[in-house]
Amino acid sequence: MMGFMARPAAVATGRIRAAAACVLVAALSGCAAGNNGASAMREQAEAQVELARLRDKTARAEYSEQAVYLGLIRKMQQDGLYFASLAHIEVYVQRFGTGPEIQVMRADALRETGQDQAAIEAYQALAATAKGAEAAHAHHGLGLLAGRQDDFARAVTELRTAAALDPVNARIASDLGYALMRAGALQDARVPVMQALELDARNPRVISNAVVWLMADGKRAQANAMMQKAALPEPTRSAIRKEAERIARAAAARDRAVGRHGQKPISAPAAAVAVVAKPIAIAAQSGATP
């Protein structure tokens, strides 16, 4: 796989050595001929400038190769080749070292290949050191893994942290809304679900989550109109209806628990989560990349 890349760095290194030799020759010439001392110093300075330029060119060539390889790994993951991407990530780290972006892709690959515990550790390590979008991505990944394990209270916590770090990320907002729905907190889910819809109104996953919320909240006319406008196929519509019914039952169970205890529970009761089936394929793909 590595054969496609040229080796401009090796060529440039040879030039650097040649330039270094020029510097030495210029210096010796200056010592041998006192009358030409000024000329020798000028030649030495020019050689040093050329040496610096070639070093900069070498650094740019190495950076270009690194960027190309990083793009290759990113494309593999976009195409769903997560096992292959893991192998190339190891090669990348050996050659160029680690960093937040490659750590993100490694954690995603571990999650997508079913290595949940390793993925959790990778996301936690990233969350402890990264900032901004990378930190948000780490908490998003932890939220998706918690949802995969049906721990929606923990999923909500992680996704809320992710949303605070990256407030305009539609996928995070949509997944937060879905996790809240799965936890029975239907009304709490309204804001992130609708935020996601306004941030990315063309995303099928975002649209599906919004339709699920509308239907679970009894707004069937609006839900049907949205499905019609998005031209969702009938199998998807059927799955959305079933999911909305299950989420409505989870919300009702949660409301009954609130009535019994007289206060809003911090997390969804086990009974509320138990009646909710796995997420539909489009509405919340817990295996999707954040």
Give Cα 85 distance to the centre of its chain.
14
The residue assigned the tokens 């290194």 is 13
pTM of structure: 0.70
Residue 150 backbone class (left: φ over 0; alpha: ψ -120 to 50; beta: rest): left
Report the alpha-carbon distance of residue 278 to residue 280 in Å, rounded: 7
Q: Are 63 and 32 in contact (CB under 8 A)?
A: no
Q: At 200, is the secondary structure helix, strand, or coil?
A: coil
Q: Are 50 and 22 in contact (CB under 8 A)?
A: yes
Torsion angle (degrees, nearest 10) of CA 29, 33, 34, 35: -110
- Convert the pLDDT of each residue in 115-128 to its tens digit: 999 999 999 999 99
DSSP state of 278: P
Report the alpha-carbon distance of residue 185 to residue 177 in Å, rounded: 9
12 confidence band (pLDDT: 50, 70, 90): very low
- Convert the pLDDT of each residue in 144-169 to its tens digit: 999 999 999 999 999 999 999 999 99
